[in-house]
Structure 1
Amino acid sequence: MSGQESPAICSAKGCHAAATWAVVWNNPRLHSPDREKVWVACGEHKQPLADYLAVRSFLKRVEPLEAVS
C-alpha cells in the first residue's frame, strides 16, 4: 500500500468519475440540525444531485470537495 487515499467517486448511480464537489444535506426528520451528510459529485452530476435534495428541502449547500475534506 502506498499510503495515498483513493480519489472520491461520484455518488450518482452508475457513475465512476472522480468527485470534485460536495453536496451537503440533512433530512430534518431523521437527523439533528447540526448533522450534515455529504454526497460527493462529479461536475456532470453536481446539479442533478443538488436538485434532487433541494426538491425535498434537504439541501444545505454545494461546495468544492476540498472545502469539506
Structure 2
Amino acid sequence: MATFSLGKHAHVDLCDLLKLEGWVESGAQAKIVIDEGQVSVDGAVETRKRCKIFPGQTVSFAGQSITVVA
C-alpha cells in the first residue's frame, strides 16, 4: 500500500491530499468527489472536505488507497 508523508506537518486536509496525490486535477474537483461520497477514510465514507487526516489513517478513492505517515 502507498504512503503519504506529512513531513513536519501534524495533518493534511482531505481535499488537499487528493490533489497532492494527483488523484484529482484541482481542489474544486476534490471537493466535488468528496461531497458525492466517493472518498473514504478508514473504510467510512467521508463528506467533510476539510477533514483533517492524521498519521495512521487510510484514505481511499477510485480503487486507490494511501496510508498517511508522520
Q: Tell me the TM-score normalised to structure 2 length.
A: 0.27
Q: Choose between structure 1 and 2: higher helix proportion.
A: 2
Q: Choose between structure 1 and 2: higher strand proportion.
A: 2
- Larger relative contact order (Cα-Cα within 8 Å, sequence gap ≥ 6): 2
